Chain A
Amino acid sequence: MNNDNNYFSGLFGGVKSLCIGLKTTMREYFTKKITEQYPENRNELQMFDRFRGSLVMPHNENNEHKCVGCGLCQTACPNDTIKVESEFYEDADGKKKKRLTRYEYNLGSCMFCQLCTRACPHGAITFDQSFENAVFDRARLVRVLNQPGSHVAEKPVVKKPAPAAPAAKAGEANA
């Protein structure tokens, strides 16, 4: 008798689970399709948020970036993709300071691991969503990310009392 119960409960249980499967696929049938018709919708194509196209250094409207030229990204990169060139100069107070002269990024050897953007303490570099990176010459994959004539943005935190500064930096690094 117990066997018979197993037979029928198995049968009805199976039918029930099959119906759940059918319901799921039917719901999927009417959902919006995720296919992108790429060359046609090139103008309105939106990549997903976490897509990593290529490394960029965002500049603000005053042609200022956030890079201080510390070279942590260069050290973090496993492929030697990034080359940071910097120089020392004396500011108005006569203090010796470091500043970025050339930030070179080789797209051809980048594996988009994001170790550089995580290493950056200032959030100066990030990945954008451009993916049309094909070129005919490998040399053109080497890009200079800092724009000509750009300089590092003066941080408002510098003018604040000293204890506030490290906290703000730590917050940025976590983000």
Chain B
Amino acid sequence: MFNFQDITTWIHGMLTGTLGLPEWAAILTESIGVALAVITLYAVFAIFLIYMERKVCAFFQCRLGPMRVGPWGTLQVFSDVFKMLTKEIINLRQTDRFLHNMAPFLVVTASMLTFACLPWNKGAHIIDFNVGVFFFLAVSSLGVVGILLAGWSSNNKYSLIGAMRSGAQIISYELSIGMTMLTMICLTGTMSFSEICADQAVNGWNIFRGHLPAVLAFIIYLIAGNAECNRGPFDLPESESELTAGYHTEYSGMHFGYYYLAEYLNLFICAGMAATIFLGGWAPLTIAGLDGFNEVMAYIPGFVWFIGKAIFVVFLLMWLRWTFPRLRIDQILSLEWKYLVPISMFNLVLMALVVAYGLHF
């Protein structure tokens, strides 16, 4: 199995040995390199996901989607991005200028921090420590602050209503996300993403290993994750029919672009987390007994597995989004508090029993 650590140690050795940099300078250079890589990946994935969303949405609606710019419309999103970059950022009167300008950066920072938590390959974890799951949950909640600030500082009732709905929704569904993650931690016995993946590479994917409670947790995670991203049937914070665009109504140019970017990257992060904790992260598919098959699978590098799984989950989330109509705020809250929370609590107990009696594979 390809180990990314070889590359990182080689780079470190080159910086300290061949170039003769002191330890701190080498680490500084590496950090800047990693940050640039994260930001580049962030932009690339956003562009890919926007294209995928437009195509998948079109196919679900019996259309073809963008076809004009480039072959099969592949350059459409690039031209959209350049259009967004050249647009003017308009400063509005009677808004809280400071908070108004800060809010998109909070959202995008939270999203980038969570993006850095994803385990890309064996040895390619950017942020990885023993309470990684807690860190992930904490920084993913940071985005809510940005959304609430955006709604408040816009001085616009639609934005404020959208932000409040979004806040209520995200805080509620955070509970389900946390509970399902706890369920899976119960199974793996570790909170570090790298160890969760390494464990699944040896013992098989969690969703197979934990059978019934793991599948239940996966479904709950998908529902709650869609709500976390303000997507799918849960997109009422930006319901265009009632609130024009919700909390980002008053934003223009790249400030709006940041929300757009963060929305799609949150989708990928949500899918990537599902891939990590349920579908084995970078761990290849192994079937006990079929050694030849397992060896072939092990030749495929880990990042291909990870990205492939994440895109599969993204497709599932898009399928949900383009199938169901939007829920009302009371329906959203009753779905969470009356259905998902009790079920995930029951599921946690079930998983604890399964683990305690060794009923998993």
Which residues between 59 and 107 of chain B lie within 8 Å of chain A, taking CB atoms?
Answer: 59-64, 67
B324 within 8 A of A: yes
| CB-based contact A21/B64 at 8 Å | no
| Docked CA distance A34–B339 (Å) | 39
Residues of B close to A24: CB separation below 8 A = 323
| CB-based contact B63/A34 at 8 Å | yes
| CB-based contact A33/B324 at 8 Å | no
Known contacts A25-B319, A25-B322, A25-B323; A33 and B59 CB within 8 A of each other: yes
Residues of A close to B58: CB separation below 8 A = 33
| Docked CA distance A6–B318 (Å) | 30
Tell me the minimal C-beta distance from B217 to chain A in angstroms.
Answer: 16
| Docked CA distance A18–B222 (Å) | 14
| CB-based contact A33/B323 at 8 Å | no
| Docked CA distance A65–B63 (Å) | 41
Known contacts A18-B324, A21-B323, A25-B319; A37 and B67 CB within 8 A of each other: yes
Tell me the minimal C-beta distance from B61 to chain A in angstroms.
Answer: 7
Residues of A close to B60: CB separation below 8 A = 25, 28-29
Residues of B close to A21: CB separation below 8 A = 323-324
| Docked CA distance A90–B197 (Å) | 98
| CB-based contact B319/A35 at 8 Å | no
| Docked CA distance A21–B322 (Å) | 10
> How many A residues, CB 8 Å from partner?
15
Known contacts A11-B339, A37-B67; A31 and B62 CB within 8 A of each other: yes
A47 within 8 A of B: no
In the complex, the chain B residue whose C-beta lies closest to that of A11 is: B339
A22 within 8 A of B: yes
A162 within 8 A of B: no
Which residues between 321 and 342 of chain B lie within 8 Å of chain A, taking CB atoms?
Answer: 322-324, 338-339
| CB-based contact A29/B67 at 8 Å | no
Residues of B close to A37: CB separation below 8 A = 64, 67
In the complex, the chain B residue whose C-beta lies closest to that of A14 is: B339
In the complex, the chain A residue whose C-beta lies closest to that of B316 is: A22
| Docked CA distance A29–B339 (Å) | 30
Known contacts A11-B339, A18-B324, A21-B324; A26 and B319 CB within 8 A of each other: yes
Residues of B close to A29: CB separation below 8 A = 59-60
| Docked CA distance A21–B62 (Å) | 15
| Docked CA distance A24–B325 (Å) | 14
| CB-based contact A35/B63 at 8 Å | yes
In the complex, the chain B residue whose C-beta lies closest to that of A20 is: B323
| Docked CA distance A33–B59 (Å) | 7
Chain B positions 31 through 74: 1 when the CB is less than 8 Å from some CB of chain A, otherwise 0: 00000000000000000000000000011111110010000000
Which residues between 31 and 55 of chain A lie within 8 Å of chain B, taking CB atoms?
Answer: 31, 33-35, 37
In the complex, the chain A residue whose C-beta lies closest to that of B342 is: A7
Tell me the minimal C-beta distance from B317 to chain A in angstroms.
Answer: 12
Which of A7, A22, A31, A34 interacts with B319 by CB under 8 Å? A22
In the complex, the chain B residue whose C-beta lies closest to that of A30 is: B59
| Docked CA distance A31–B58 (Å) | 12
| Docked CA distance A18–B59 (Å) | 19
Residues of A close to B339: CB separation below 8 A = 11
Residues of B close to A26: CB separation below 8 A = 319
| CB-based contact B64/A33 at 8 Å | yes
| CB-based contact A28/B61 at 8 Å | yes
Tell me the minimal C-beta distance from B65 to chain A in angstroms.
Answer: 8
Residues of B close to A28: CB separation below 8 A = 59-62
Residues of B close to A18: CB separation below 8 A = 323-324
* Contact sample, A vs B, 29 pairs, CB 8 Å cutoff: A11-B339, A18-B323, A18-B324, A21-B323, A21-B324, A22-B319, A22-B320, A22-B323, A25-B60, A25-B319, A25-B323, A26-B319, A28-B59, A28-B60, A28-B61, A28-B62, A29-B59, A29-B60, A31-B62, A33-B58, A33-B59, A33-B64, A34-B62, A34-B63, A35-B63, A35-B64, A35-B67, A37-B64, A37-B67
Residues of A within 8 A of B (CB): 7, 11, 18, 21-22, 24-26, 28-29, 31, 33-35, 37
| 7 tightest Cβ-Cβ pairs between the two chains A and B | A35-B64, A25-B323, A21-B323, A25-B60, A33-B64, A29-B59, A35-B63
